[in-house]
Amino acid sequence: MLHFTRLKTIAVLLTCLAGLLFAMPNFFTKESVATWPNFIPKQRLNLGLDLQGGAHLLLAMDQDEIKKDWMVNLRDSARRSLRDAKIGYSALGIQGTQLQVRLTKPEDQEAALKDLRKLIQPIGNAILGSSGNDIEVTEGSEPGTITMSLTEQGLKARVASAAASSIETVNRRINNLGTSESTVVRQGTDRILIQFPGLQDTAELKKLIGETAKLTFHEVHPSLTAEDAKLTAIPPGYKIYPGTGDEGGEYLLRETPVVPGEDLADSQPGFDSRDGQPVINFRFNQAGARKFGAFTKENVGRPFAIVLDDKVLSAPVIREPILGGSGQISGNFTVESTNRLAVQLRSGALPTKLTIVEERTVGPSLGADSISAGKTAGVIGGIAVVFLTILAYGTFGIFAVVGLFVHLMLTLAIMTVMGSTLTLPGIAGLVLGVAMAVDANVLIYERIREELRTGKPPISAIDAGFQRAFITIADSQLTTLACAMIMFWLGSGPIRGFAVTLTIGIITSIFASVTVVRLLISQWIKAQPKGRGAIKVPV
């Protein structure tokens, strides 16, 4: 076990050198690292909110808006389903979390029930005993009426889906600010936590995530205005939308959009070639381009409305069919607002409005104090470990200290390459990893001592010590690794950071404490004078 081939020796040395190179930028300032040659790695370890300060925002989703949007979509689906089945109805009314359907002919109730029940979607997992349906379709209290109700399980699934979608959208928006250090995680049922290290002014961040940015394109009623509809009655399927900016006024639009925001493929800020005003250039995906092209082809000479967050940006008249799937949005924009809106549209609409319920700014001085205290503790602890290890094991203690240094460099290097964020719990994971690496060397050396007491020759004792101790080390590290994986799976935020650091530390400690130290001892044995009894094990 003490024999190393030339190839294996080179591989171990190259691994150690690579770890040193990738970890080295973390010990120098950004300015000095920028002056290094390009062939030297320059990536540094990201510091978390608790180490460098930044913004902490807790957002709450509007569950009422989620229910409202779901009910509107359910009403449109029920209307379309009944129309396709050629079943007449006189009313489709929303009452809270219920949709009341009144049929024209009561005798069509059975056929309507059968048709509407096709809209039920199963949710959950039957194996885990959590299966169910998102809606219930039952007979109403009066003949010829049907009630469609949202289930509690369906509401929970819809809120969970909205939270996941919101996290993805917020992540995309924040990444456009030019950072990959932010953390966006779900907290509880309907809340989202954002931690943005290094950011002290949250105004731009709040603007970026505080708007839903739901862009849709709607058909304008061909003959009735919003004012006339208020005096008479709003036609079924239509809704009055307020205008914004230069447009002002109100518009009577079909509630179901011609092209939904999901079909928007790209949006970029730009300037109008005619007057130089800031505009937003947009492009649909294939499905959106096809729907938009068909609509504009059939409605030349009629206006259509561009709606953002339920407010009409503009309502231009269609001069000619727009078949290319791209267009331009103009309005009372500034350069800053076009840039922000383009980012919001490009990242996708939020499924619901997010409200800030908690906002904190962590000062960088607190992080600097934490780093300073951590450095002081690390230096004192490191000196104590080095002194005690060398005192207890002599030359082999020096080999153990070299292994600890390699372990620490490799851990930092892997975290740097992975783009991990170092937090205070992560530092705790680093310290624990060092302790585990020391423990592994103690096990090996004590096993060697036991073998020497039995009368074995030094080389045989060293070889047997590594072989037998490795089994114990592997068992203990595997149990710790299992705990780290469970913490990463079930935990969030700082717990996950601790678990990641601990997992990397387990892997590198085995390599450093067993492979690297064993290589050093192997080379030490080769350097000893030949002859019987020449080798004396200093443990």
**Number of Cβ within a 10 Å radius of residue 439:** 15
Residue 59 · residue 155 · CB < 8 Å: no
pLDDT in tens, 168-223: 888 877 776 654 567 788 888 888 888 887 776 777 778 777 777 777 888 899 88
Q: State the Cα–Cα distance between residues 378 and 219, nearest whole angstrom.
A: 66
- Helix axis angle for 494-510 and 458-490, nearest 10°, is 160
Two tokens, residue 171: 């992540």
User: Token pair of 52, please?
Assistant: 């460098």
β-bridge pairing 264-271 and 278-284: antiparallel
Please tell me the predicted confidence (pLDDT) of residue 4. Answer: 80
pLDDT at 476: 82
CA distance 187 to 59: 9
Cα–Cα distance, 462 to 2 (Å, whole number): 8
Residue 222 buriedness (CB in 10 A; 0-12 / 13-18 / 19+): exposed
Contact of 299 with 348, CB cutoff 8 Å: no
pLDDT of 296:
86
Confidence of residue 124 (pLDDT cuts 50, 70, 90): low
CB 175 within 8 A of CB 138: no
Cα separation, 73 vs 429, whole angstroms: 48
pLDDT score recorded for residue 128: 46
For 6-53+363-527, CATH number out of 1.20.1640.10, 1.10.3720.10, 3.30.930.10, 3.40.920.10 equals 1.20.1640.10
Q: List CB contacts of 212: < 8 A, sequence separation 6 or more.
A: 309, 349, 350, 352, 353
Q: Is the pLDDT of residue 334 over 50?
A: yes
Note the pLDDT of residue 19: 92
How far is 329 from 352, CA to CA, in rounded Å? 23
pLDDT of residue 536: 61
Tracing tokens 């489709």 back to the chain, one arrives at 92
Residue 14 CB: number of other CB atoms within 10 A? 10
Which structure tokens are listed for 366? 């607190």
Q: How buried is 529 (Cβ within 10 angstroms: 0-12 exposed, 13-18 middle, 19+ buried)?
A: exposed
* Phi/psi-derived region of residue 452, left when phi > 0, alpha when psi is between -120 and 50, beta in every other case: alpha
3-state secondary structure of 486: helix
Question: pTM for the whole thing?
Answer: 0.59
Instruction: Annotate 51-61 with b (16+ C-beta within 10 A) or e (fewer).
Output: bbbbbbbbbbb
* Helix 458-490 × helix 424-453 angle, to 10°: 150
Residue in this structure with the two tokens 């949202």, named with its chain if needed: 150
Residues of the chain with CATH 3.30.1360.200: 215-334
Q: Determine the pLDDT at residue 414.
A: 92
Count other Cβ atoms within 10 Å, centred on residue 41.
17
- The kind and range of the H/E element at 342 are helix 335-347
The dihedral sign for the CA sequence 72, 78, 80, 83 = negative
The span from the CA of 430 to the CA of 51, in Å, is 15
Q: 174-187: b or e for each residue (b if 16 or more CB lie within 10 Å)?
A: beeeeeebbbbebe
Range scoring the smallest mean pLDDT among 152-156, 367-371, 524-528: 367-371
pLDDT tens-digit readout, 429-485: 888 888 888 888 888 888 888 888 888 888 888 888 888 888 888 888 888 888 888
What percentage of the chain carries pLDDT values higher than 90?
Answer: 8
More confident residue, 333 or 117: 117
Enclosing H/E stretch for 238: strand 238-242
Residues of the chain with CATH 1.20.1640.10: 6-53+363-527
CATH architecture of 215-334: 2-Layer Sandwich (3.30)
Question: How far is Cα 118 from Cα 237, in angstroms, rounded to an integer?
Answer: 22
CA atoms of 255 and 68, how far apart (whole Å) = 13
Distance CA 236, CA 47 (A): 55
- Which has more confidence, 353 or 240? 240
Cα→Cα distances 78→66, 73, 75, 169, 253, Å: 18, 9, 5, 29, 20
